[in-house]
Amino acid sequence: MAKLIVFNLITLDGFFEGLNSDISWHNVDEEFNEFAIENLNSIGGLVFGRVTYQLMASYWQTKQGVEDDPVVAAKMNSLPKYVFSKTLDKAEWNNSKLIKENIEDEILKLKRRTDKDLDIFGSGKLISSLIETELIDEYRIMVNPIILGKGNPLFTNINEKLNLELINTRLFKNGNVLLCYKPAAGK
């Protein structure tokens, strides 16, 4: 069964995006790009909430997206994408499936259908709604060496504490730190 993995870049003060979905602060370099490609090659699909799905679709399908990073663009455009939204009418990005209800059941089906893991990028509201379901198997949080002061926090409206166990770390030359956690046994 596949794992459901949260992968997000955050600021030191906990924001996964600045105001107006700004991610220009992402500390990306060649080492990060190599890591991103390795990660995309290891997964079987992408899971998104509506907002992140629309932002990703509006970039990776464009000429600029393909020219800026052709390898990542090819992976983003070819991987299966599962978008969870009650308000979106259609999902037209290549290999996309719109899922409007029964989020927990649908995620379980996806996890059972594939041997390769599923990554959630962005999608803070979706992640926060899934935390209490115990369907998230791993959190890969890349802390960027920046403090924004304002933005959208990755985790909101969490009703219960979730204890995590550190399973891996990686320091990048540009100052990014990847922290990998799994839910601790017994919460």
Q: Which regions in the chain score pLDDT beneath 50?
A: none
Q: What is the domain partition of the chain in residue ranges?
A: 4-183
* Backbone torsion region of residue 173, taken as left when φ is above 0, otherwise alpha when ψ lies between -120 and 50, otherwise beta: alpha
Identify the pLDDT of residue 38: 96
d(CA 24, CA 112): 36
Identify the pLDDT of residue 132: 83
Is 4-183 assigned to CATH 3.40.50.620? no
Work out the burial of residue 89: count CB atoms within 10 Å of its CB; fewer than 13 is exposed, 13-18 middle, 19 or more buried: exposed
Q: What is the DSSP letter of 184?
A: P
Show the tokens assigned to 86.
């009650």
d(CA 8, CA 119): 10
What's the whole-model pTM score?
0.93
* 84-117 per-position pLDDT tens digit: 999 999 999 999 999 999 999 999 999 999 889 9
